[in-house]
Structure 1
Amino acid sequence: MKHSSENTVTDKSPVQELTDTRGHITGADWLARYSSSVLGVFGAPQRVLVRGSGCLVWDADGKEYLDLLGGIAVNALGHAHPFVTSVISSQLATLGHVSNFFTSPTQIALAEKLLEISHAPAGSRVFFANSGAEAIEAAFKLARRNAGSAATPRTKIIALEGAFHGRTMGALALTAKEAYRAPFAPLPAGVVHIPFGDIEALRAAVDDTTAAVFLEPIQGEAGVRPLPAGYLQAAREATTAAGALLILDEVQTGIGRTGKWLASGDTGIVPDAITLAKGLGGGFPIGALVTFGPVASGLLTAGQHGTTFGGNPVATAAALATLHVLENQHVLARVRAVGEHLRAGLAGIHGVTEVRGEGLLIGFDLDADVAPAVVQAGLDAGFIVNSPGPRTIRLAPPLILSTEQADQFLAALPALLQTAKDAQ
């Protein structure tokens, strides 16, 4: 069969033409076009990035940056990882999308792998989505299905002050930040936020009207705040006694981010569900809800939830490739070692008052409200970091970050802090 010239692949694809750093379109040009074409929900972008390799990225003007944010804990294996790239390309050339009327070998294999690494008991199941917020929405519906009988309705869902679970309506109801919530009120009802880390407040709040408790083992958007020792165990005891679900949001902390498959993995507790996303696809969009055991897994039945793109062959192939590299190239041990080295180095820098986190999810506080200025100074010096608060810097680099790259940032940080303070 002859193909028309309309289907002929040219020497250079439209994407290559747009991202060609030898071209005449500057970063400023792109940003001007952005402001007149893209809805401004994120504010003005800091840079126009066109290329990445490992832990490095380059902008439209050719400047190089050490990426210490990893797309907010997404790029687990850095940028353009050759194995993940080859798997995605091969799968897309074989079978890209089939809808949820069908399944694929990659979807089934990934579900089995997630059940394995999460040590889920018999009867556990996986639902695939496209993002962390969608995984949380599925978990929210799971909680609603645990509503109980009409005589004893379970209308309460508990989350923590400082929590961030996403921006879709159900996820936003769980998110604590009032600035995110207020413009969209009224949100889905029944969510109660209790003080962070207060075990007695938790025990007092969980009763027979509680459908579920949602917890992040480490709160990322609140500045990398780990739950105190014993909190997850107390939550499991309280929810079990009340017949409520314990749902752990491991969207940011899961898939090796803390040097373990799950941040909650060494606590000995078995939740009723966990949510995953971000690093799972190594940069390719995918989310998952893992329901633990037959009771929780039976709450959502045929027709009660769905997705068009979730669990598609390409996304699940990307996730399988990411997990393969993490497991077979001993990346988790490296995360623990480099993370410990980085935290120790940060603790010795003048102007850093506290260092928190685990593995390569790190937050550190400063002695002045200069964190946003540090982010800007870092960009100017070739480092990408994030400020979730006026005194807090967050690091969530690719899990392949080397000790040498960590040392580059540690060596530069004192000058970045001074530049930020001088700018006040």
Structure 2
Amino acid sequence: MNQYIEETNNGLVHTYNRFPVVLDRGEGVYLYDTDGKKYLDFAAGIAVSGLGYGNQELNQTLKDQVDRLLHTSNLYYNTSCGEAAAALKRVSEMDRIFFTNSGTEAIEGALKSARKYAWKKGTGRYEFIAMDHSFHGRSIGAVSVTGSEAYRTPFEPMLPGVSFAKFNDLDSVKARVTDCTCAIILEPLQGEGGINRADREFMEGIRRLCDEEGILMICDEIQCGMGRTGEMFAWQSYGTKPDIMAMAKAIGNGIPVGAFAMTEKVAEYSLEPGDHGTTYGGNPLACAAVAKTVEIFEREDIVSHVREIGGYLAGKLDALVSEYDTVLERRGVGLIQGIKVEEPAGEVISRALEAGLIVISARNNVIRLVPPLIIEKKHVDEMLEKLKRAIEA
């Protein structure tokens, strides 16, 4: 395997801190490396592979689409794009959908949509309020609203007009509102920031504040959306419908695709032809993946399954906190959970990998558990057995 890694590294710029494993194939909730070693996957490609690996129905849909049409550009309609848009409208409760290639691009579209709305309304507003510890992507616009100096500082100056409030502190948000505030952007559950879930009072307060002040509410559902919290999208558990929403990751179950959506109210005063575009957005193959993924989610009632298994997982993790002094806290809901540990999370993660378990971190001391949404209780039990070995080592 080491020779294989050396060969694949030839000519590459090393911008990722990769683990010394070469993954070769997947089946269900398991991954296999080139040596045939089996790993229980509790990362799902960073919350992407909601349906796991090797779903034959989805695979056949993609194979059929390859034979029909791969690309048209957005100068023309294509059937799978329309089907995917209708599916996402249905489950997101939003009115208009714009397809992108990634979550970062979805955030860019959301920010532009908010500013265009303010411009067409003639308000002169352009500022954004974002949250501490948030993560929205790695383009200049997305980094500008990401609440971590470590991500922003090397690329300054950032997009002007961005201020940061404390997550779950409504007074902190109110203190940053000015006559130039056009939108408040937040994740209903922060993933990269440490598995921090918004309080009901906070979400309801943000929605109320936006309504009172004429500000748009942008929800980033890229990681916490698409069934992961036990709702199709996390805001739905609060009843705080955003004006603009970004999504990606699990909507295509591994095919690179994202989208931003908006209400009709925003669309009426927002993007027009020529304001925003993408060569590959709405790609027939990506959209076929979205339409089929949503269909399977609805038919199999994935969100109910997440509530059941998520509750089981939470209970087991709470017991882990009680059992080990080095496990300090459980965070999260559904199948986006985290445990805060005393030692650097990366050390536990490396030992877990040796034990045949794939987990990831969220900040320096939180182990993030975002498995495929099709896991069963037996997989939770297997994960705990391997995780305990990693904690005790």
Provide the C-alpha distance between the structure 2 equivalents of 1:219 and 1:274, rounded to a whole number of angstroms: 15
Q: Which whole-Å deviations, capped at 9, do the CAs of 1:267-286 have from their partners, x for residues lacking one?
A: 22221111110000011111
- Pick from 332, 335, 339 the counterpart of residue 357 of structure 1: 332
Moved more, 72-81 or 327-336: 327-336
Which residues in structure 2 correspond to 1:8-407 (within 5 Å)?
Answer: 27-120=1-94, 124-148=95-119, 153-349=124-320, 350-351=323-324, 352-366=327-341, 368-407=342-381
Partner of 1:6: none
Contact 1:278–1:287 under 8 Å retained in 2: yes
The AA in structure 2 aligned to 1:228 is D
Q: Aligned partners of 2:269, 2:72: CA distance in 1, in Å?
A: 25
Post-superposition offset of 1:140: 1.1
What amino acid is the match of 2:143? L
- The code of the aligned residue for 2:151 comes to Y
- Cα contact 1:146–1:244 (8 A) shared by 2: no
Deviation of 1:411 after TM superposition, in Å, equals 2.1
8 Å CA contact 1:35, 1:44 repeated in 2: no
Letter in 2 for 1:58: Y
Q: Per-residue CA shift, 1:336-394, capped at 9, x if unaligned?
A: 1111111110111223221111111111112x123111101110000000122332100
Secondary structure in 2 matching 1:179: helix
Distance between the aligned counterparts of 2:229 and 2:30, measured in 1? 21
CA–CA separation in structure 2 for the residues paired with 1:180 and 1:391: 18
Q: Distance in 2 between matches of 1:210 and 1:226?
A: 24
* 3-state SS in 2 of match to 1:300: coil
Q: Per-residue deviation at 1:143?
A: 2.0
1:150 Cα shift?
Answer: 10
* Change in 2 beyond 3 A, CA 1:41/1:330: same
Runs of 5+ unmatched residues, structure 2: none
Q: How much has 1:158 moved relative to structure 2?
A: 0.7
Give the percent of matched residue pairs that are identical in Structure 1 and Structure 2: 37
The one-letter amino acid of 1:358's match is V
TM-score between the two structures when normalised by the length of structure 2: 0.96
Task: Mark the structure with the bigger radius of gyration.
Answer: 1
Deviates more, 1:290-299 or 1:91-100: 290-299
Amino acid at match of 2:149: E
Question: What letter corresponds to residue 41 of structure 2 in structure 1?
Answer: D
The offset of 1:151, in angstroms, is 8.2
Secondary structure class of the residue paired with 1:205:
coil
**Secondary structure, counterpart of 1:357 in structure 2:** strand
1:409 matched to 2:383? The reply is: yes
Residues 136-171 of structure 1, C-alpha deviations (whole Å, 9 max, x = no match): 010111122134489852131010000100001110
Aligned CA RMSD, in angstroms, stands at 1.5
2:224 maps to amino acid: T
Deviation at 1:257, TM superposition (A): 1.0
Deviation string 1:267-308 (CA, Å, 9 cap, x unpaired) is: 222211111100000111110111112334531111000001
Q: Secondary structure at the match of 2:93?
A: coil
Alignment size in residue pairs: 389
Distance 2:319 2:218 in 1: 37
Change (3 A) 1:150 1:83: closer
3-state SS of paired residue (2:225): coil
Q: Is the 8 A contact 2:245 2:260 kept in 1?
A: yes
SS at match of 2:88: helix
Consecutive unaligned residues in structure 1, runs of 5 or more: 1-26, 420-424
TM-score, scaled relative to structure 1: 0.89
Which whole-Å CA distance do the structure 2 matches of 1:360 and 1:369 have between them?
Answer: 23
> Which has the higher mean CA deviation after the structures are superposed, 150-159 or 316-325?
150-159
Q: Which amino acid in the other structure matches residue 65 of structure 2?
A: Q
Q: Distance in 1 between matches of 2:155 and 2:7?
A: 29
Distance 1:148 1:314 in 2: 35
Matched letter for residue 194 of structure 2: G
SS in 1 for 2:84: helix
In the alignment, what sits opposite 1:422?
none
Give per-residue Cα distances to partners, 1:33-55, cap 9 Å, x unaligned.
Answer: 23332221112443110100111
8 A Cα contact 2:200 2:238, kept in partner: no
Q: 1:159 to 1:244 in 2, by over 3 A?
A: same
